[in-house]
Structure 1
C-alpha cells in the first residue's frame, strides 16, 4: 500500500506537490518543515523524501490522538539517560554534583532506568518464546 503512495508522490510535479502540501493541517506542515530542516542538516538529498515520511506517518498513525513531548521533556529524558549510563554503582555523589541534583534523585533516576531496561528484556524474552 505504501509503495503505491510513494509511486504517486514520485510522479507529482512540484506544483502538484505544493498543492498537496497546501491541503495539510498546520501541524503537519510544521512537522514537514522540521523534517526538511533535519534532512538538510544531515545533508540528505532525496526527492520528495519529506512527503514520503509524512505520508507514512499519516498512513500508519493517521486519525490517532498523538502526543509528542515538548523539547524540555526530551532534554530531561536524555539527561537522565546519560546519568544512568554514567552511573557505576559508586558515583552517586559525583553525579549529583555534576548535574546539580540530590543523591536521592540520582538514585531514583537509576532505579527508573534499571526497571525500564528490565521490562524491555522481559518483553524481548517473551517474544522469543512465542
Structure 2
C-alpha cells in the first residue's frame, strides 16, 4: 500500500494547472489534438459518467488528465475480456467465502470445488501480500 502512495507524491502543481485550465484544453477542437489514447479514455469515462447520471462538466476530461499525469509513459496492463471477468469473479468468490460454503460457491459460479479452493488460496495469498509489507 505504501508503494502505491509513492505514485501520488509527485509534484502536483503542474497537474493542478492542467485540471484548472480544463475548459481551455478540453474543448472539442483542442481534444481532437490529444493523443488518441487520451481521446478514447476521455470518451469511455464520459460515457460511463453519463450512464451513472453524474452530471459534472469536464469530469471525464479531468480524470483523463489525472490518469495521464500519474500513469503516462508507464507500461501498465489492464486485463480485458475473459481475464477481467475471471479476476472480478475470483474477487467476488473471495468476498462470499465464509469458510464453510465451498460447495455453494462452486454451484453458484459453475466451477468445481477444487477450482473454488484454488481461487480461495490465490485470493488469500493476494490479501496477505496486500496487508503485509515485504521485507526484501
> TM over 0.5: same fold?
yes
Paired residue total: 122
TM-score, reference length from structure 2: 0.77
Number of the residue aligned with 1:69: 79
Gaps of 5+ in 2: 1-13
SS across alignment from 2:27: helix
Q: 2:30: which partner in 1?
A: 20
Q: CA deviation at 1:72?
A: 2.5
Shift of 1:36: 0.4
RMSD over aligned CA atoms reads 2.2
Matches within 5 A, 1:2-41: 2-10=15-23, 12=24, 17-41=27-51
Give every structure 1 segment of 4 or more consecutive aligned residues whose post-TM-superposition deviation is greater than 4 Å. none
Structure with higher Rg: it is 1
- The answer to whether residue 102 in structure 2 is matched with residue 92 in structure 1 is yes
Distance 1:7 1:98 in 2: 48
Deviation at 1:3, TM superposition (A): 1.6
Higher helix share: 1
C-alpha distance in structure 1 between counterparts of 2:21 and 2:105, whole Å = 53
Distance 2:81 2:31 in 1: 25
After superposition, the Cα gap between the structure-2 partners of 1:59 and 1:37, relative to the gap in structure 1 and judged at 3 Å, is same
Q: Distance in 1 between matches of 2:55 and 2:107?
A: 43
Larger RCO (CA within 8 A; separation ≥ 6): 2
User: Of 42, 55, 60, which residue of structure 1 is paired with 2:52?
Assistant: 42
TM-score, normalised via structure 1 length: 0.81
Give the alignment partner of residue 56 of structure 1, picking from 21, 43, 66.
66
